[in-house]
Structure 1
């Protein structure tokens, strides 16, 4: 999947008014995910995504260190960070994050998205695996 297709898919599924909204939702979600998963896994996931999209994950690695540890925070904090980064409220941020995760899963191969989900605590894993039609 190429960058434009990735962003267009986010915009369509999340029913966003603009491409900019889709870009913000993607950036906010992936930057937050990059803080929550180990650096090596973030780098592996980033390598499977379009360069511009993967950069959101790489940006969270200190000096590109793939051995960076994951921060510890729960789903409420995850959604709060996404909301803050995307300047929207938390229910909207949670929905948009689910859409981003759904598209990330479709855009990656070899089970990388599944490996990411397996590293997360149950509450965040439910957010990651719910898809655009699921609940938090």
Structure 2
């Protein structure tokens, strides 16, 4: 999947009229996730993504410790949306990642996160059940 296809998928899932809104949501979510993950897991998660997108994960100041509430708050601030919207957008973007990234890479990243981050993977888990 190339950059335009990835962002187009985000745009469709988030029902955004403008491409730039989808870019902002993607950057906000993946930069924040990259900050939370250890560098190796962020790199593994980023490896199958288009280079214009993988940098959001890999260029973040990785290995920071913060809970899921702080994660959503950072996404909301970066995207300039409210917290429920940021949570939904992050879930949609992670669900898209789950369709692209090898399952083992996603699981390694997921296993590194505290239990309160399970909410981030709710849509991913629903899709896996279908």
When normalised by structure 2's length, the TM-score is 0.89
Task: Tell me the residue number matched to 1:93.
Answer: 86
Which of 60, 64, 67 is residue 74 of structure 1 equivalent to?
Answer: 67
Q: How many residues are matched? A: 126
Q: Does structure 2 conserve the Cα–Cα contact (< 8 Å) formed by 1:118 and 1:125?
A: no
- Verify: 1:83 aligned to 2:83, yes or no: no
Q: Does structure 2 conserve the Cα–Cα contact (< 8 Å) formed by 1:95 and 1:132?
A: no
Task: Tell me the residue number matched to 1:131.
Answer: 123
Q: For structure 2, which runs of at least 5 residues remain unmatched after alignment?
A: none
Q: For structure 1, which runs of at least 5 residues remain unmatched after alignment?
A: 62-67
SS at match of 1:17: coil
The alignment yields a C-alpha RMSD, in angstroms, of 1.7
Distance 1:110 1:124, change over 3 A: closer
Task: Tell me the residue number matched to 1:9.
Answer: 9
When normalised by structure 1's length, the TM-score is 0.86
SS at match of 1:73: coil
Task: Tell me the residue number matched to 1:27.
Answer: 27
Structure 1 consecutive aligned stretches of length 4 or more whose deviation exceeds 4 Å = none
For 1:83-135, what per-residue CA distance to the aligned partner results, in whole angstroms no more than 9, with x for missing partners?
A: 011111111111100111011111112521121111111111321x112897x
Q: Does structure 1 conserve the Cα–Cα contact (< 8 Å) formed by 2:3 and 2:50?
A: yes
Distance 1:39 1:22, change over 3 A: same
